Amino acid sequence: MASAQSVEEEATGPHVPMREAFPPADTEYMGGFSDGWEYRSVFGGSRLENTYNMVLQFLKEEGYGDLPLPANAEELKLFRKPRRKQLELFRPQGYIHNPIKILFSDEKGKRNNLILCIYNEKAEGHLLRFHGVMNGG
């Protein structure tokens, strides 16, 4: 008798990590959305620690487990900038390391949510686009 995992793999094929096969434009993938250049998904748990652990597990399963990341939610909090009197436009709060961004939600009542953005490393001009030196195309 076949195991549930092998039956599932036969029906859908083995899982191919996102880092190997980035989701094409205009597709939903694992609760998030891809435009072919950026994949974006929101994770939410009862505590920031739980949310961050979900993000870490997702990154590991999708082939990004080798990236340097904050060790835990307490370290991640160090990347949250203090609020300023004036709005800072286009300055996301969170951890940024090519090809990912783990951003804190600024949505009211969603303090424990994290926004995970993963960028397609195989896209033309990836490094320049990731750092905002060149516009997408």
Task: Give the least confident one: 30-34, 88-92, 94-98.
Answer: 88-92
pLDDT at 123: 92
* Domain hosting residue 22, numbered range: 18-79+93-130
Query: How does DSSP classify residue 61?
Result: H
Query: How does DSSP classify residue 134?
Result: S
Structural domain includes residue 88: no
Give the HSE-up count for residue 29: Cα atoms under 13 Å, Cβ half-sphere: 24
Burial of 99 (0-12, 13-18, 19+ CB in 10 A): buried
Contact between 132 and 120 under an 8 Å Cβ cutoff? The reply is no
pLDDT tens for 60-74 read 999 999 999 999 999
Structural domain includes residue 84: no
Contact between 114 and 59 under an 8 Å Cβ cutoff? The reply is no
Q: Give yes or no for residue 88 having a pLDDT over 70.
A: no
Structural domain includes residue 136: no
pLDDT tens for 9-19 read 445 788 899 99
Q: Give yes or no for residue 7 having a pLDDT over 80.
A: no
Backbone angles phi, psi at 99, to 5 degrees: -105, 30
